[in-house]
Amino acid sequence: MDFSDCDPENIHSSIVSGIESLGPLALGNNSFPDHVHEYSHRNGCYYLNKNNKKTAILFGELASAEEGTETSAHGDFFKNHDANESITDKSRVRDIYALRKPRGGWEIQALFERQVANLNDIRLHGLEREEMDNRITSVDDWTKPTETNLEETILVHSKLKFKADITIPEYSQRIQRSPFLEDVDNLIHPRDNHQLHVGRPYAAEVLPDYDKKVFSLRSAKVIQQDTKDNRGNLIPPWQNEAVLRPGQLLLIEGTLYCQIIRTKSVSVKKYRITAEWIKILSPV
Cβ proximity of 93 and 75 under 8 Å = yes
pLDDT tens-digit series, residues 69-106: 999 999 999 887 888 899 999 999 999 999 999 988 88
What average pLDDT does the structure give for the chain? 80
The domain over range 8-164+227-282 is classified in CATH as 2.40.50.140: yes
Does 131 score more than 70 pLDDT? no
H-run or E-run covering 227: strand 227-228
Q: What is the pLDDT of residue 179?
A: 36
Q: What is the mean pLDDT of residues 192-220?
A: 87
Going from N- to C-terminal start, the domains of the chain cover: 8-164+227-282
| End-to-end alpha carbon distance in the chain | 22
Q: What is the mean pLDDT of residues 147-159?
A: 85
Rounded Cα gap, residues 125 and 271, in angstroms: 12
User: Residue 171: pLDDT band by 50, 70, 90 thresholds?
Assistant: very low
Does 2 score more than 90 pLDDT? no
